[in-house]
């Protein structure tokens, strides 16, 4: 290297206006052909590459684009297709690809779970009964495309073998070395073909290195990269880590590769660099711009960080880049025309982060004087926001330390009070909260936002939808109803529009799973309660029925984890501010005779730090915030919560510590594996393990649902068990939702009767 290169690790795939999502959904609904989908998404992919080229990024990633999920892309590239999809009658590879992700009438979709500690979901590879083959060298295809179409000498991105296999399932830990040996020849073939095509740099993503590794893991990592180096001498690989600092730092930076990518935003990579140095024969790809948050960086401080790194690593062996892929942030702030200039100027979305990276590379190469304007602008924008009214505490703000975080009675005593009041049957049925938001619902909301209909007209429409679905739920026979959340765009964004200290953007979309995009609100100031947010809708729904209707809120940890959080104070301070604000809302619901209140925490497990030595601090803060928000209710008020799946054994004690009366957990795609957690641990509160998957459009059979219920009842007593779908139903169609809920209730009644019969027989 003769200069300080700028680099990017990945670019948002969704487009500035979510064009990607719209094309996917048109294809799934049969409105466009496969060829039309591929044509439109190629144009979108090239548009993103061209933008990076125009921003003067030196090393532009290619192969980071995906039609659904990059882990699933890797699976298909290596022929990792679950047995149930291998002879499914699919007419193309793309049809099989989407079938694995979304399921079919006859086959359950593959498990979907969180990508490390982010809100992005990946499709879990299934390695049992698979004989991998290289079906297509996708990185090579994308490399050639970028070169031919735009003259870009791209940096192919591939998910590394250790991370890919560790994220999968269907093998025992002791079989990992054998599995790795099976895949290494395929990786070598991919990389060899890239080298022969003239590729200069290859980014091999190994974020698993930011987790707690064992000495056995390290042995396999060394073996893998030594095998690759021997097979393809001279190839320039950058092992890219992110989201945390790496364990076994000295061993990792000594691997036989040309470069190592480290995250200097999260973790303590700088301390490791200072303590152990860095090899003279490698480049250091320094992730100094936060790839996961949206706040503008103080470029003077970041340049100072790079100058510190330069004291250890020669300048011409440093690559400047974001800390991770920019998949996790919106595309550009240029579309945000309505934001307060104080807030907007302090933001940095994907496009702006590229500019920050390029400026820092220039400053490191040519000196501070070469980017004086960029430095001054960044500092001024941040100082202006920090000194604004938005970040000043108000006299009305409640101090969390002045509030109790404990219910008046323990669960063992208050549950009998609740059962007496609620009078629910054995195995009560409910849903998680949201009901289908049709095209018409979204259309009416847009008309209201544009001013085409009045507030009252919109309110009447929402009331009509609520009434319709209360009647549907009653007809189906559901025991505890929900109002459907038709007034809400998103479970976090909605509260961001209502609470002080939040700002909602217009185009700040990021991908969550599949074509599902969310708009995380910005927490830019002091958070506080303003006025009731959900009470009116809950009261109206309850007035329509004699059955209990749940009040529905998003919990403090999820609001925090699914927002872009101010970075000038502790995240835990922000978390407690949110908890206090929600406490006021819960008290308002209770005052209006809403006796079941669900406070959802689907992101609690997601936020768990990658390093175990940081878990207790996070879990203690999460449990405290949840209890702070819910502790003031009467013993007779039942608190529910909902969580998404993944390794609940790790946080079992924290789940119990929340002291929620009922918890529902998303489990269906894990095919019952979560139940083993409850076999190994005694859970003394009430629980609902999702009995069917709502992320797939397929309607399950009653037999499937009964099987899931009965499997759970082998471990969980019937008097503690609730029956519900595994998540909210917002993204589903009305017909499939009604059909599935009918089958769920029928299954619940049959199992309920079987339970009664078994008791009588005994």
**Residue 630, C-beta contacts closer than 8 angstroms, at least 6 positions apart:** 407, 583, 586, 597, 599, 639, 659, 660
Residue 2 clears pLDDT 70, i.e. is over it: no
Residue 19 labelled as part of a binding site: yes
At residue 183, does pLDDT exceed 70? yes
- pLDDT, tens digit, 9 for 90 and up, residues 244-261: 999 999 999 999 999 999
Catalytic residue among 70, 121, 483, 695: 695
pLDDT digits (tens, 9 = 90+) for 682-727: 788 999 888 888 877 788 899 999 988 998 888 889 999 999 998 8
The arithmetic mean of pLDDT across residues 743-749, rounded, is 95
Query: CA separation (Å) from 608 to 267, 560, 643?
Result: 14, 13, 13
Q: What is the mean pLDDT of residues 279-297?
A: 97
Q: Does 295 carry a binding-site annotation?
A: no
20 is in an annotated binding site: yes
CATH number of 47-388: 3.20.20.210
Residues 197-252 have pLDDT tens digits of 999 999 999 999 999 999 999 999 999 999 999 999 999 999 999 999 999 999 99
600 in a known ligand binding site: yes
Give 686's strand partners.
Answer: 662
Q: Looking up tokens 């690593």, which residue turns up?
A: 313
Count of all residues that appear for the chain in the document: 762
pLDDT tens digits for 509-540?
999 999 999 999 999 999 999 999 999 999 99
In contact, 393 and 690? CB cutoff 8 Å: no
pLDDT tens-digit series, residues 356-375:
999 999 999 999 999 999 99
Q: How far apart are CA 273 and CA 166, in angstroms?
A: 26
Residue 336, annotated ligand binder?
Answer: no
| Percent of the chain's residues with pLDDT above 90 | 84
Banded pLDDT at 672 (limits 50, 70, 90): low
Q: Is 158 marked as a binding-site residue?
A: no
Going by C-alpha positions, the residue among 160, 142, 165, 148 that lies closest to residue 41 is 142
| Spatial distance between the Cα atoms of 145 and 422, rounded to a whole number of angstroms | 62
Q: What is the mean pLDDT of residues 73-79?
A: 98
What pLDDT sits at residue 689?
83
**Residue 468 host element (H or E):** helix 455-476
The reply to whether 483 sits in an annotated binding site is no
φ/ψ (deg, to 5) at 692: -155, 155
Domains 47-388 and 416-488+530-761 share a fold: yes
Q: For the beta carbon of residue 97, count every other beta carbon within 10 angstroms.
A: 21
Give 479-529 as a DSSP string: SBB--B-TT-S-TTHHHHTTSEEEE--SS--EEEETTEEE-PPEEEEEEE-
**Mean pLDDT computed over 729-738:** 90
Domain boundaries 416-488+530-761, corresponding CATH code:
3.20.20.210
The residue with greater pLDDT, 667 or 173, is 173
Q: pLDDT-derived band of residue 675, with 50, 70 and 90 as boundaries?
A: low
How does the average pLDDT of the chain come out, rounded? 94
Residue 671: pLDDT band with limits 50, 70, 90:
very low
| CA–CA distance, 508 with 499 (Å, rounded to integer) | 18
CB atoms within 10 A of CB 317: 19
CB 97 within 8 A of CB 657: no
Indicate the Cα dihedral angle 455, 461, 465, 468, nearest 10°: 130
Per-residue pLDDT at 108 exceeds 90: no
Which parts of 168-310 fold into alpha helices (H)?
176-196, 215-231, 249-253, 269-276, 299-310
114 labeled part of a ligand binding site = yes
What are the boundaries of each domain within the chain?
47-388, 416-488+530-761
- 695 given a catalytic annotation: yes
Q: What is the pTM of this model?
A: 0.91
Residue-wise pLDDT tens digits, 325-341: 999 999 999 999 999 99
516 is in an annotated binding site: yes
714 in helix, strand or coil?
Answer: coil
pLDDT at site 45 = 97
User: Is 434 annotated to bind ligand?
Assistant: yes
Query: For residue 309, is pLDDT > 90?
Result: yes
**Residues 12 and 331 sit within 8 Å (Cβ to Cβ):** yes
Which whole number is the average pLDDT over 622-647? 91
Q: Is residue 268 exposed (0-12), middle (13-18) or buried (19+ Cβ within 10 Å)? A: middle
- Is the pLDDT assigned to residue 668 strictly greater than 70? no
Residue 282 predicted with pLDDT over 80: yes
Sign (positive or negative) of CA dihedral 734, 739, 745, 751: negative
The answer to whether 21 is annotated as binding is: yes
Neighbours of 395 (CB within 10 A): 4
Give all strands (DSSP E) within 549-647, no chain letters.
551-554, 564-565, 596-600, 638-643
Strand partners, 260: 239, 284
CB 575 within 8 A of CB 619: no
Tokens of 644: 């998404």
**320 and 360 Cβ atoms separated by less than 8 Å:** yes
**CA–CA separation, 289 and 254 (whole Å):** 25
How far apart are alpha carbons 703 and 49 in whole angstroms? 48
Alpha-carbon gap, residue 542 to 600, rounded angstroms: 20
Residue range 585-589: average pLDDT? Answer: 97
The 3-state DSSP class for residue 710 equals helix
Query: Does 644 carry a binding-site annotation?
Result: yes
248 CB burial (10 A radius; 0-12, 13-18, 19+): middle
Is 50 assigned a ligand-binding role in the annotation?
no
- Ramachandran assignment for 248, one of left (phi > 0), alpha (psi -120 to 50 degrees), beta (any other): left
Predicted pLDDT at 394: 77
69 in Cβ contact with 80 (< 8 Å)? no
* CB of 518 closer than 8 Å to CB of 120: no
Tell whether residue 433 is among the known ligand binding residues: yes
Is 578 known as a binding-site position? Answer: no
């Amino acid at each position: 290297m003769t200069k300080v290169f700028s680099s990017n690790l990945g670019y948002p795939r969704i487009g500035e206006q979510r064009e990607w999502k719209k094309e996917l959904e048109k294809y799934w609904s049969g409105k466009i052909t496969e060829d039309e989908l591929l044509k439109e998404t190629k144009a979108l992919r090239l548009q993103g590459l061209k933008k990076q080229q125009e921003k003067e990024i030196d090393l532009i990633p290619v192969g980071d684009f995906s039609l659904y999920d990059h882990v699933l892309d890797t699976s298909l590239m290596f022929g990792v297709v679950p047995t149930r999809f291998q002879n499914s009658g699919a007419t193309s590879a793309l049809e099989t690809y989407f079938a694995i992700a979304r399921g079919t009438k006859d086959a359950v979709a593959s498990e979907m779970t969180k990508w490390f500690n982010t809100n992005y979901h990946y499709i879990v590879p299934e390695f049992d009964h698979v004989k991998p083959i290289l079906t297509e060298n996708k990185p090579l295809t994308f490399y050639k495309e970028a070169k031919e179409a735009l003259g870009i000498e791209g940096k192919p991105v591939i998910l590394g073998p250790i991370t890919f296999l560790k994220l999968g399932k269907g093998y025992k830990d002791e079989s990992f070395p054998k599995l790795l040996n099976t895949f290494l020849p395929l990786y070598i073939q991919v990389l060899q073909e890239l080298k022969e095509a003239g590729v200069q740099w290859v980014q091999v993503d190994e974020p698993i290195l930011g987790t707690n590794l064992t000495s056995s893991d390290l042995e396999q990592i060394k073996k893998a990269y030594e095998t690759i180096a021997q097979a393809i001498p001279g190839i320039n690989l950058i092992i890219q880590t992110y989201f945390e600092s790496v364990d076994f730092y000295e061993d990792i930076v000594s691997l036989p590769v040309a470069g190592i990518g480290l995250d200097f935003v999260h973790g303590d990579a700088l301390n490791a660099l200072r303590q152990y140095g860095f090899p003279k024969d490698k480049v250091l790809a320094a992730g100094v711009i936060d790839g996961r948050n949206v706040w503008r960086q103080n470029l003077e401080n970041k340049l100072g960080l790079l100058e510190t790194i330069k004291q250890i690593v020669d300048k011409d062996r440093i690559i400047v880049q974001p800390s991770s892929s920019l998949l996790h942030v919106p595309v550009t702030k240029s579309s945000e025309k309505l934001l307060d200039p104080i807030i907007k100027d302090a933001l940095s979305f994907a496009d702006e982060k590229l500019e920050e990276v390029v400026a820092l590379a220039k400053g490191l190469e040519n000196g501070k004087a070469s980017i004086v304007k960029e430095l001054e602008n960044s500092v001024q924008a941040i100082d202006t926001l920090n000194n604004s009214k938005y970040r000043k505490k108000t006299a009305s703000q409640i101090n969390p330390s002045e509030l109790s975080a404990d219910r008046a009675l323990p669960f063992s005593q208050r549950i009998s009070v609740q059962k007496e009041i609620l009078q629910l049957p054995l195995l009560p049925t409910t849903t998680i909260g949201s009901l289908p938001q049709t095209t018409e619902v979204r259309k009416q909301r847009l008309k209201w936002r544009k001013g085409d209909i009045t507030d009252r007209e919109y309110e009447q429409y929402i009331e009509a939808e609520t009434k319709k679905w209360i009647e549907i739920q009653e007809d189906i026979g559901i025991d505890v109803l929900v109002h459907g959340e038709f007034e809400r765009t998103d479970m976090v964004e909605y509260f961001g529009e209502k609470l002080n200290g939040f700002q909602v953007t217009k185009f700040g979309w990021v991908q969550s799973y599949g074509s599902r995009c969310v708009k995380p609100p910005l927490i830019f100031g002091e958070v506080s309660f303003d006025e009731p947010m959900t009470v009116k809708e809950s009261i109206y729904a309850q007035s329509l029925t004699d059955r209990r209707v749940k009040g529905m809120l998003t919990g403090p940890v999820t609001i925090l984890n699914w927002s872009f959080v101010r970075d000038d104070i502790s995240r835990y301070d922000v978390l407690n501010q949110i908890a206090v604000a929600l406490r006021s809302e819960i008290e308002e619901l209770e005052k209006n005779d809403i006796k079941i209140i669900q406070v959802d925490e689907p992101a609690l497990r997601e936020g768990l730090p990658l390093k175990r030595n940081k878990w207790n601090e996070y879990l203690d803060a999460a449990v405290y915030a949840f209890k702070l928000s819910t502790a003031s209710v009467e013993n007779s008020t039942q608190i529910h919560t909902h969580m998404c799946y993944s390794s609940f054994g790790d946080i079992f004690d924290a789940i119990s510590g929340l002291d929620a009366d009922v918890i529902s957990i998303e489990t269906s795609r894990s095919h019952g594996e979560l139940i083993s957690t409850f076999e190994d641990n005694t859970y003394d509160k009430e629980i609902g393990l999702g009995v069917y998957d709502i992320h797939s459009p397929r309607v399950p059979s009653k037999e499937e649902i009964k099987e899931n219920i009965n499997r759970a009842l082998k471990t969980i007593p019937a008097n503690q068990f609730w029956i519900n779908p595994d998540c909210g139903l917002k993204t589903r169609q009305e017909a499939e939702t009604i059909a599935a809920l009918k089958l769920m209730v029928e299954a619940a009644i049959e199992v309920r009767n079987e339970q009664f019969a078994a008791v009588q027989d005994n």
